């Protein structure tokens, strides 16, 4: 038999102590113990642990366990007027509210990025149609200059007789 410790099958030693092994495997293991002090020692120690855990006695369940449980079931089945009233105002569980809040946040950010607001209208700014007189003169001078050096007027260029 392969050594359970060497082959990392120590659960076999636990199963042996727990009496979970079939008779044939248990006998093979006992024959192995005769030649393997490590396994023998582990099995002995495991047996001590097993017996120690067996000795762990616990207090009996209270006699009114069922009565208290059924009271809780009954009280849960009939919500009080206050519970009914506050049910709709109760905060959502964190597990549900976090993804919803994250989604809402993303939608809000996307909305802000997509929405590009126009120029802010300022009622104190001077109206754009107010121009100064020197600006008008300069513009008229520029137009005269363009007329002198610019291309022929549109009437000449499109007249078929000129071609």
> What is the Cα–Cα distance from 114 to 108, expressed in whole angstroms?
10
Report H helices in 9-93: 11-18, 23-33, 37-54, 65-77, 81-87
Q: Which residues contact 21 (CB under 8 A, 6 or more apart)?
A: 12, 15, 29
Positions in 53-72 near other proteins (CB under 8 A): 53, 55-59, 61-62, 65-66, 68-69, 72
Q: Which residues contact 46 (CB under 8 A, 6 or more apart)?
A: 13, 14, 16, 17
Residue placing its CB nearer to other proteins in the complex, 31 or 51: 51
Residue placing its CB nearer to other proteins in the complex, 34 or 58: 58
Nearest approach in angstroms of CB 62 to other proteins is 6
Nearest approach in angstroms of CB 26 to other proteins is 17
Crossing angle of the two packed helices 37-54 and 23-33, in degrees rounded to 10: 120
**Residues 76-115 as x/- pattern, contact with other proteins by CB under 8 A:** x---------------------------------------
Question: Left, alpha or beta for 92 (phi > 0: left; psi -120 to 50: alpha)?
Answer: beta
Positions in 3-32 near other proteins (CB under 8 A): 10-11, 14, 18
- Asked if residue 52 binds other proteins (CB under 8 A), the reply is yes
Residues 38, 48, 112, 136: which binds other proteins (CB under 8 A)?
A: 48
Cα angle 71-57-42, degrees, rounded to a multiple of 5? 135
Residue placing its CB nearer to other proteins in the complex, 1 or 47: 47
Residue ranges binding other proteins (CB under 8 A): 10-11, 14, 18, 42, 44-53, 55-59, 61-62, 65-66, 68-69, 72-73, 76
């Amino acid at each position: 038999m392969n050594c359970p410790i060497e082959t990392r099958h120590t659960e076999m030693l636990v199963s042996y102590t727990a009496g979970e092994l079939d008779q044939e495997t248990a006998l093979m293991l006992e024959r192995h113990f005769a030649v393997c002090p490590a396994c023998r020692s582990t099995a002995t120690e495991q047996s001590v642990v097993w017996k120690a855990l067996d000795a762990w006695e616990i207090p009996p369940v209270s006699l009114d366990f069922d009565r208290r449980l059924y009271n809780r079931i009954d009280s849960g089945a009939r919500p009080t007027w206050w519970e009914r009233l506050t049910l709709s105002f109760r905060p959502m569980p964190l597990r549900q509210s976090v993804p919803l809040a994250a989604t809402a946040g993303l939608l809000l950010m996307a909305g802000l990025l997509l929405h590009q607001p126009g120029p802010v209208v300022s009622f104190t700014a001077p109206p754009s149609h107010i121009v100064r007189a020197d600006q008008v003169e300069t513009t008229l001078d520029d137009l005269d200059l363009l007329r002198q050096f610019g291309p022929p007027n549109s009437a000449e260029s499109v007249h078929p007789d000129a071609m």
